Structure 1
Amino acid sequence: MGYGIRLQVWGDYACFTRPEMKVERVSYDVMTPSAACGILEAIHWKPAIRWVVDKIHVLNEIRFDNVRRNEVESKIAHGNVKKAMKGGEVELCIYANDSKQRQQRATLLLRNVAYIIEAHFEMTDEAGSGDNPEKHYNIFLRRARQGQCYQQPFLGCREFSARFRLIENNEMLPQSAQRGVDKDFGWMLLGIDYIDNMTPKFFRAMMKDGVIEVPRIEEGGIGK
């Protein structure tokens, strides 16, 4: 195990979308490990390190809300992107004001969320001679303490920005509304196994005393 950190994240809204919902967005009850990993990578990531989420603490009461939003119907065609990369003249944009592109979609999201992410990072084969665990650990600590990030972390959807703060090693954990609560959230997305041909892996998300233990993707994940 590499250098471990504890990061508290919170926000007004969150949507950790269930992949089985094809049209309307429906959030999982709690943050997914892949979303937690994305927040850590938004603060500090290099090819030399790989973040591994160990635990997710659920701090607030789980509350759902339903909203409807205007969205665009289509995506930019993959073929157009490849053509543009080869120097071809093609329009790479979608006009959101076009009535043919707009459509309303419902989203079942979470309100007033707060979590603690316990995680560590491991060195990868991409690490160079100037890379070492202490260097990257100190970079992350400095950024997290000062509220700095490479890109704005978000809670499932980019429009739901996440605020964060580092929990120091000698600091007590914040009080949780889920303390003493055990719950089975069913099968939850663990992440994408890029080594196994980009296979999505799932795990049984069991919350005990407000804490979800996260298995390693190569050990505990169940393929789709």
Structure 2
Amino acid sequence: MSLCPPLTLKVYGDFACFTRPEFKVERISYDVITPSAARGILEAIFWKPEMGYRIEKIHVLTPIQHFSIWRNEVNNCQSESSAKSWAKTGVGGYFADGDRAQRHTLGLRNVAYLIEAQIYLKAHATENIAKYRDQFRRRVQRGQCHHQPYFGTREFSAFFEPPTGQEQAINRSDELGLMLYDLEFQPAPKGSIQYRQQDAQGRRIISGNARPRFFAARLEQGILTIPPQPL
């Protein structure tokens, strides 16, 4: 456990969708932001390769409200290499109009959260942790970010600001069931086709499969406490 007080950040927005994985192609949101989505917002504000974020608590500041819409989505993902090949050869192409499907989204409306998190240093870090904590606080104070944070999907923008200290969590306690904690990337076995020791620049990389980790989520007086170890 860190001896430093947690970093706090207030985030809010008009819409959000933190998709539950068990519903396949339909976008059905969790009732509360997931730890991985909260971490993504913090990384959008400030990130360095020698550090990471550990989410400790999430305070729900506004009543949980849902909305339902239908969205047009494409069925297949396109890659940069395919686009370069089409541009080079003049053969092929992609037309989104012929690859669309209409899917249902059950999202959240008028969301606001107070995120408590700790910064941890990785093995190759050489600077003191206080440096990264100060940099994060300065960027939040100035409204700076590497890219626009979002709530689950990029069209649902997230806005952030330093907390005032007057934020109050909602008066609600509820079992939220199993919630996605994060994706744990396991290296591919040496000798397998996915295994790579280093890239063209000599940098070591890890290839393998992503394993989802979950935890039993409970909202207690509007506060979701994140366990240090998921299931």
Is 1:166 matched with 2:162?
A: yes
Residue 173 (structure 1) shift: 3.7
CA distance in structure 1 between the aligned counterparts of 2:36 and 2:143, rounded to whole angstroms: 21
How far off is 1:84 after superposition?
A: 6.0
User: Would the aligned equivalents of 2:16 and 2:107 in 1 still touch at CA under 8 Å?
Assistant: yes
Q: Distance in 2 between matches of 1:134 and 1:111?
A: 36
Instruction: Give the match for residue 57 of structure 1.
Output: 59
| Identity value in percent | 43
2:178 partner letter: W
2:152 match: 156
Shifted more, 207-216 versus 197-206: the winner is: 197-206
Count of aligned pairs: 207
Match of 1:185 in 2: 176
Report the RMSD for the aligned CA atoms in angstroms: 2.4
- Structure 1 residue 109: Cα displacement: 0.5
Is the Cα contact below 8 Å between 1:8 and 1:115 reproduced in 2?
A: yes
Correspondence list, 1:49-198, <5 A: 49-76=51-78, 81=81, 94-96=94-96, 98=97, 100-127=98-125, 129=126, 131-167=127-163, 171-176=164-169, 178-179=170-171, 181-194=172-185, 198=210
**Alpha-carbon distance in structure 2 between the residues aligned to 1:90 and 1:208:** 58
| Conservation of the 8 A alpha-carbon contact between 1:76 and 1:93 | no
Change (3 A) 1:144 1:102: same
- With over 3 angstroms needed to count, the CA separation of the structure-2 counterparts of 1:49 and 1:76, relative to structure 1, is same
What TM-score, normalized by structure 2, do the two folds share?
0.81
Please report how far the alpha carbon of residue 74 of structure 1 lies from its aligned counterpart in structure 2 after TM superposition: 1.3
Deviation at 1:33, TM superposition (A): 0.4
User: Which letter does structure 2 place at the counterpart of 1:11?
Assistant: G
- Cα 1:195–1:95 shift into 2, 3 Å: same
Equivalent residue, structure 2, for 1:36: 38
Q: What's the CA shift for 1:172?
A: 2.2
Q: 1:92 & 1:34 partners in 2: Cα distance? A: 37
TM superposition shift of 1:126: 3.0
1:193 Cα offset (Å): 1.9
What is the TM-score of this pair, normalised by structure 1?
A: 0.84
Change (3 A) 1:21 1:125: same
Question: What SS does the aligned partner of 2:111 have?
Answer: strand
Are the aligned partners of 2:83 and 2:93 in contact in 1 as well (CA < 8 Å)?
no
Unaligned runs of 5+ in 2: 188-208
Instruction: Tell me the CA shift for residue 92 of structure 1.
Output: 9.2
Name stretches of at least 5 consecutive residues in structure 1 with no aligned partner: none
Change (3 A) 1:14 1:138: same
Query: What residue identity is the alignment partner of 1:187?
Result: L
